Chains A and B, each alone.
Chain A
Amino acid sequence: GAVVSQHPSRVICKSGTSVKIECRSLDFQATTMFWYRQFPKQSLMLMATSNEGSKATYEQGVEKDKFLINHASLTLSTLTVTSAHPEDSSFYICSARDRRNEKLFFGSGTQLSVL
C-alpha cells in the first residue's frame, strides 16, 4: 500500500516553544492531507484539511493561529503547533488520500509532550 511518512515520532518540549511536524506522501501525490489529534483512549479527531497551494480548512473549535498548516507541495504538509502548552500534549497523526483508489493512509504519528 501507499506510504505516508511522518516526522518526528516523538517530541518533548518546554511550554511556550513551537513544534513543527512534517508529513510526506512517498509514492503518490496528495493534493489534500488531513491532520488528526487523538488523546489517550479517545477516538480520532479531525483538526484540519490541508490543501496544496491554498489555505487549510479547520474544524470547528480548532484555532488556526495555534495550529499552522502549510501544504507547499503535492507531497509535503507541515503542522506547526505554536507556543505549545501542556494541554496541547497529544498524539498528532497526518493522513493522505490516494486519489487513484480513494484509500486514506496514515502517517506513523507524533507523540507531543509539552512540559
Chain B
Amino acid sequence: QKEVEQNSGPLSVPEGAIASLNCTYSDRVSQSFFWYRQYSGKSPELIMSIYSNGDKEDGRFTAQLNKASQYVSLLIRDSQPSDSATYLCADARGSGNTPLVFGKGTRLSVIA
C-alpha cells in the first residue's frame, strides 16, 4: 500500500514563529503534491500545490518538495492563532479520474 505519512501532532508553536509541517510519500511516480487546511467541523481547503523540486512561496506559506528524498513540507511564517487547524498533505498519482492520497493530517496549534 502506497502511503502518505504525516506526524499527527499536535504541533504547538508560539504566535509569530515559523511552523514547519512535514510529509513523506512512498510512491515514486507521484508528481503533484498538495497541502490542505481543515478547521474543525469544516471541509478541507486547498492552500498550496507544488509540482517541481524546490520551494514555492505564496504569502506566508512556503511549500518545499524533494522528490529524491520523497519529502514535502509546508512552512508557515509569522504563525497566527487563526492558523490553528489540521493540515493535510496529499499526492496525486494519476490523472483527474484518480483520487488524491491523503495523509492523516498534522494538528497545528498556534499559541497567542
Mutual binders A and B: yes
Binding site for B on A (CB under 8 A): 1, 6, 31-32, 34, 43-44, 46, 49, 51, 91, 93, 97-99, 101-109, 111
Q: List 6 A-B contacts (CB under 8 A).
A: A6-B43, A102-B49, A102-B95, A104-B46, A104-B92, A109-B42
Size of B's binding interface in residues, CB under 8 A: 23
Query: Which of A32, A43, A46, A108 touches B105 (beta carbons < 8 Å)?
Result: A43
A99-B46 in contact (CB<8A): no
With both chains docked as a complex, state the minimum distance between the C-beta of B32 and any C-beta of chain A, in angstroms.
Answer: 5
Of the candidates B36, B44, B99, B103, the one whose C-beta lies within 8 Å of that of A46 is B99
Chain B residue with the shortest CB-CB distance to A98: B96
* B residues less than 8 Å from A31 (CB atoms): 96-97
B100 proximal to A (CB < 8 A)? yes
A101-B95 Cα distance, complex, nearest whole Å: 10
Report the minimum CB–CB distance from A110 to chain B (whole Å).
9
Within 8 A of A (CB), among B26-69: 32, 34, 36, 41-46, 49
- Cα of A43 to Cα of B9 in the assembled complex, Å: 13
From A6, A32, A108, contact of B97 by CB (8 A): A32
User: Is B90 positioned at the interface, with any CB of A under 8 Å from its CB?
Assistant: yes
Q: Cβ of B43 and Cβ of A108 under 8 Å apart?
A: yes
